[in-house]
Structure 1
């Protein structure tokens, strides 16, 4: 098992295990979004479009 993990890790020398997004896709400030929702006792699905805009990086 350890050998399999090592082989898998070696496939990603920079340590990033993610799929990149197209450049025109906005990114989300996840931590800020989480804190905002937690403070208000709501979920991200309950945000208005204007509220959500503040967490997007275009």
Structure 2
């Protein structure tokens, strides 16, 4: 790797002292079902429209 890239990576990593960056999730995707559906209809996931994709998205309730 070149020196500048290493410096950039080190600077970025310094922003996460414990080494973890997490984003709260509000939904999850049923990947296996999505894959099987795409295989069945002969398309890749990026060819699906929003309505088709939403069939495989499950909303996660936040617990307080």
- TM-score bracket, normalised by the shorter chain, equals 0.5 to 0.7
Indicate the RMSD between aligned Cα atoms, in angstroms.
Answer: 1.6
Count of residue pairs brought into register by the alignment: 39
Runs of 4+ off more than 4 Å: none
Structure 2 gap segments, 5+ residues each: 1-20, 60-64
The structure with the larger Rg is 2
What is the TM-score of this pair, normalised by structure 2? 0.54
The whole-number CA distance in structure 2 between the counterparts of 1:28 and 1:20 is 17
